[in-house]
């Protein structure tokens, strides 16, 4: 069919449809021809149809759907010079909605297309091979570790037996050495005990007698070693605030000692004496180099302790 005749056919079919009051959707429903093909027929664009066979078949079905005499209509526009071509039904299909759809062009699959289609299979194969290789490597590693552990255990057994033999040989030597060592240890212990006694004697202080004067007690001649001494401040039956100063009034330490706690204060070698101010004498114990000092506080809470050192 030529273009002019196609246009005339399309216009006549369109007019007949409109005269019937039908839409292209109605024609598609009755003929099962896709709407886009029906629109192509009405616009004379027969080149949009699948082929010459479908041109005549679709035109015939369209004419019958709009109430025309399909046979007479086809003869009216018959072109004797045209020989209908055999339809290519290789790609034709009927979808679920009973509409016939055909593929006009089926390009030949290229090497690249074939390669792309095979890629998923190739990738899966490579992954499977890799997994098998990993499993084999792990199994081989465990097997090798087991053999190595067995060899190590054999070596340890031999070494242990050698050690036992050497231990038995050295046992007698050790016994003799122990006897000598015990004798030496006895001498060392005796020497250490003697040193500790000398050290304790050297650290000993002589407090002398304390004299009470008002709310204070003063120890006027406390003999101390010629080095730094330590004072212990202990709180019993309650907390107590205290301050320790040297003879010049310089504060060495001050603070609150909590119940059952002991604060140790180091008195420097240069100090010629100390003054201890006590906020709760009834709950306070004072010692110098661990020798307890009699505060003689006479039930007073606020108290003062004075000490003068001789070295």
pLDDT at 167: 47
| Structural domain includes residue 153 | no
What's the CATH code of the domain at 55?
A: 1.10.260.40
Task: Kindly report the backbone phi and psi dihedral angles of residue 38, in degrees, each rounded to the nearest multiple of 5, phi listed first.
Answer: -65, -40
- Look up the domain containing 53 and give its range: 3-101
Q: What is the DSSP letter of 206?
A: B
**Above 90 in pLDDT, residue 19?**
yes
Domain boundary among 101, 122, 156: 101
Total number of domains constituting the chain: 2
Cβ of 133: how many Cβ atoms within 10 Å?
10
**Quick check: helix, strand or coil at residue 238?**
coil
**Above 50 in pLDDT, residue 63?**
yes
* Of the candidate ranges 100-109, 185-194, 279-288, the one whose mean pLDDT is the lowest: 100-109
| Structural domain includes residue 156 | no
**Above 50 in pLDDT, residue 104?**
no
Select the highest-mean-pLDDT range: 184-188, 228-232, 273-277.
228-232
pLDDT at 59: 92
| Structural domain includes residue 163 | no
pLDDT at 305: 72
CA–CA distance, 228 with 205 (Å, rounded to integer): 12
169 vs 220, more confident: 220
pLDDT at 290: 94
Domain boundary among 101, 131, 154: 101
- Judge whether 243 and 253 are in contact, CB under 8 Å: yes
| Structural domain includes residue 181 | no
| Structural domain includes residue 155 | no
CA–CA distance, 287 with 231 (Å, rounded to integer): 6
| Structural domain includes residue 95 | yes
What's the CATH code of the domain at 271?
A: 2.60.40
| Structural domain includes residue 228 | yes
CA–CA distance, 202 with 226 (Å, rounded to integer): 9
Domain boundary among 101, 124, 141: 101
Specify the pTM.
Answer: 0.39
**Above 90 in pLDDT, residue 28?**
yes
**Above 70 in pLDDT, residue 225?**
yes
Q: How confident is the model at residue 277 (pLDDT cuts 50, 70, 90)?
A: confident
88 vs 151, more confident: 151
| Structural domain includes residue 42 | yes
**What are 157-196's pLDDT values in tens digits?**
434 445 335 543 454 443 334 424 454 565 565 566 666 6
Q: Is 111 exposed, middle or buried (0-12, 13-18, 19+ CB in 10 A)?
A: exposed
């Amino acid at each position: 069919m030529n273009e002019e005749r196609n246009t005339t056919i399309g216009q006549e079919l369109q007019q007949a449809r409109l005269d019937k009051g039908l839409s292209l959707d109605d024609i598609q429903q009755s003929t099962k021809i896709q709407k886009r093909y029906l629109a192509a027929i009405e616009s004379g664009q027969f080149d949009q149809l699948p082929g010459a066979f479908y041109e005549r078949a679709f035109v015939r079905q369209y004419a019958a759907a709009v109430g025309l005499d399909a046979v007479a209509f086809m003869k009216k526009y018959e072109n004797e010079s045209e020989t209908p071509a055999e339809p290519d039904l290789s790609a034709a299909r009927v979808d679920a909605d009973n509409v016939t759809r055909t593929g006009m062009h089926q390009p030949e699959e290229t090497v690249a297309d074939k390669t792309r289609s095979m890629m998923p299979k190739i990738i899966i194969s490579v992954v499977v091979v890799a997994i098998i290789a990993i499993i084999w490597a792990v199994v081989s590693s465990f097997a090798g570790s087991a053999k190595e552990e067995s060899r190590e255990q054999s070596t340890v057994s031999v070494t242990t037996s050698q050690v036992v033999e050497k231990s038995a040989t050295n046992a007698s030597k050790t016994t003799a050495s122990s006897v000598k060592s015990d004798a030496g240890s006895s001498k060392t212990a005796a020497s250490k005990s003697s040193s500790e006694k000398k050290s304790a004697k050297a650290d000993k202080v002589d407090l002398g007698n304390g004299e009470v004067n008002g709310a204070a007690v003063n120890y006027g001649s406390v003999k101390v070693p010629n080095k730094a001494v330590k004072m212990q401040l202990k709180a019993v039956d309650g907390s107590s605030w205290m301050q320790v100063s040297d003879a010049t009034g310089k504060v060495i330490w001050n603070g609150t000692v909590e119940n059952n706690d002991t604060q140790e204060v180091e008195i420097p070698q240069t100090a010629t004496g100390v003054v201890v101010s006590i906020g709760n004498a009834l709950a306070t114990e004072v010692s110098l180099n661990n020798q307890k000092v009699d505060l003689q506080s006479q039930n007073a809470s606020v108290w003062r302790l004075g000490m003068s050192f001789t070295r």
